[in-house]
Structure 1
């Protein structure tokens, strides 16, 4: 009998639910979209340099690239959530006082039904979670660390100085004989290498090869990273939908991943594809994030206790094992972890939020038998793709990825290679820095293949003390003798 055996997660970058999917769904209390009610949602620009008119109301957008990059560090998100959710435009305008009214209005923009043909088609054909929140109100790295480990260990920043040495989902999967793969955008670097105990990542081209093969050979769990566009001259390949790049490149990635799975029917009938986003990227969403279970007892430097979720992000569950429609339950990225641990009966080592009874999963919505689903996405839905101008500045995430490359170089075992990769001229241009970072990443991966690191040992299961076991056996014998008498 067929079963759900393969979970594939594609995590894109920096867009809110209302921006990407809001136009498809009517508003409801605590969720839904902004279909028919967009004009009811607004932000006033109260920055020191407001650009009249001061009020910004949600309006459709056809922008394919947004510049400058809206801020989404923890202090910025805290400002955006004031009101509630009335500080988005003011935070953007205060950060970028030279921006004009139209640039500020983009923070309140949303894509009308059909403007993003692939994402919107799949949202209408499969299962949308309209209360899926990022795991914390902050930037990319902590939220991505949450989806791998259930906690960011009290860190709220994109920094190579964050000591992310906790157990990961991959430790649990590997220890229990469950196959897994992490695939990263070709030509770029993998963000998962900020974790101390991830043994290997593969270029994205291997995902497409695996999807063409036998269902039984496909990994049971896959996590897909997009191309972050770290190469300044390679932004033609950036497909993470992060602002500054063409949003339709992410549409192409969605098309590629979905069609690769859907085109192998034996694989598709046993698969679940989760398309989600790491965080909202500074774009408006009308739903106030709820309180959350703390993953551990850590706080960040400002005293934030990780007891509140970040903004809503678009999330679609695509599978023959789920009905078409909308799920209204509250989720965050740790809900996925809890689902996986429950599915494969794994011991929770991923924090209190994953282990909490109040953390929802979508397990109860799984069907007993698979249903007939939408077929392949048509090729004609992809418009002509634009390259990002070379003069466009790097985003905060891209700069962090470059620093990650430098950090990895210091861990290379071979002294001569390490020295060569750590050489950095003060005269280097941003292009040189980016090229060096990718070379450092590749050298690090080659070095890791030659000198693999041991995974972090999992806690051993506790056994009853031998003395206590003997005493128990002796007690049983005594009981039997007394029964004979």
Structure 2
């Protein structure tokens, strides 16, 4: 579900549970957000099979999607209009087809596993990313409650390591223990402090040790 909005994946689940803050098909976006009443309006539909390529999910792209304008000074905007999704998609491909794709969601029967989960369990319909941006800034936020100003995946900064304190250091300083389990490269090594030798024995390959440690 990475890079998929709630409305895209679960918006139409409102049909089976009216309490879900989903969609009903009256939602729309203009192709030109500076004039939100100008045609063509792209209405949200239920015809998704997949979305390829992804909608833009850089900081700049999301800013345009949420505020309808990719301007640098957000203080001049009074509220997030949420009317720039079709426009931003159009800027990727130059085709209305991409705009129509991002203004689409899945009918519940198209995703039966999710339909069952929604029917049987709670649904978080007010769940937002920590940073309106790409992958690594949000991962940084998970363990340290800040991206340290990062709004994109800049390789040099990731290699150098970010300096902020993490929850793992708080755990260590409280006299408790922790472990970091990974499959490939642990993203927590993007924090400079966790590269210290004293934390070396805190990193474990997931497949080899997690079951034993969980017993």
1:115–1:172 Cα change, 3 Å: farther
Conserved? CA contact 1:183–1:206, under 8 Å: no
C-alpha deviation, 1:96, in angstroms: 2.5
Aligned to 2:164: 166
Of 200, 204, 207, the match for 1:205: 207
Aligned to 1:85: 82
1:181–1:191 Cα change, 3 Å: closer
1:71–1:62 Cα change, 3 Å: closer
Of 22, 25, 34, the match for 1:33: 22
Q: CA RMSD in A?
A: 2.8
Of 45, 48, 60, the match for 1:59: 45
Q: Tell me the secondary structure at the aligned position of residue 109 of structure 1.
A: coil
Conserved? CA contact 1:45–1:89, under 8 Å: yes
C-alpha deviation, 1:23, in angstroms: 1.6
1:63–1:158 Cα change, 3 Å: same
1:138–1:177 Cα change, 3 Å: same
Separation (CA, whole Å) in 2 of partners of 1:17 and 1:136: 16
Aligned to 2:60: 75
Bigger CA radius of gyration: 1
1:19–1:201 Cα change, 3 Å: farther
C-alpha deviation, 1:63, in angstroms: 2.3
Aligned to 1:117: 112
Map 1:240-389 onto structure 2 (within 5 A): none
Q: Tell me the secondary structure at the aligned position of residue 123 of structure 2.
A: strand
Separation (CA, whole Å) in 2 of partners of 1:114 and 1:174: 47
Aligned to 2:122: 127
Aligned to 1:370: none
Separation (CA, whole Å) in 1 of partners of 2:26 and 2:42: 11
1:55–1:126 Cα change, 3 Å: same
Separation (CA, whole Å) in 2 of partners of 1:116 and 1:203: 33
Conserved? CA contact 2:55–2:89, under 8 Å: yes
Higher relative contact order (CA 8 A, sep 6+): 1
Aligned residues: 186
C-alpha deviation, 1:122, in angstroms: 2.5
1:81–1:218 Cα change, 3 Å: same
C-alpha deviation, 1:117, in angstroms: 3.0
1:151–1:63 Cα change, 3 Å: same
Separation (CA, whole Å) in 1 of partners of 2:119 and 2:177: 32
Map 1:4-19 onto structure 2 (within 5 A): 13-19=2-8
Conserved? CA contact 1:88–1:107, under 8 Å: yes
C-alpha deviation, 1:42, in angstroms: 1.0
User: Could you say which structure has the higher strand fraction?
Assistant: 1
Q: Give TM-score scaled by structure 1 length.
A: 0.35
Q: Is residue 181 from structure 1 mapped to residue 180 from structure 2 by the alignment? A: yes
What's the CA shift string for 1:436-457, capped at 9, x where partnerless?
A: xxxxxxxxxxxxxxxxxxxxxx
Q: Is residue 194 from structure 1 mapped to residue 183 from structure 2 by the alignment? A: no
Gaps of 5+ in 2: 34-38, 69-80
1:132–1:206 Cα change, 3 Å: farther
Gaps of 5+ in 1: 1-11, 48-52, 220-485
1:22–1:152 Cα change, 3 Å: same
Separation (CA, whole Å) in 2 of partners of 1:78 and 1:183: 32
Of 98, 101, 106, the match for 1:106: 101
Conserved? CA contact 1:45–1:90, under 8 Å: yes
Aligned to 1:244: none
Aligned to 2:29: 43
Q: Give TM-score scaled by structure 2 length.
A: 0.72
Separation (CA, whole Å) in 2 of partners of 1:189 and 1:111: 33
C-alpha deviation, 1:91, in angstroms: 0.9
1:196–1:116 Cα change, 3 Å: farther
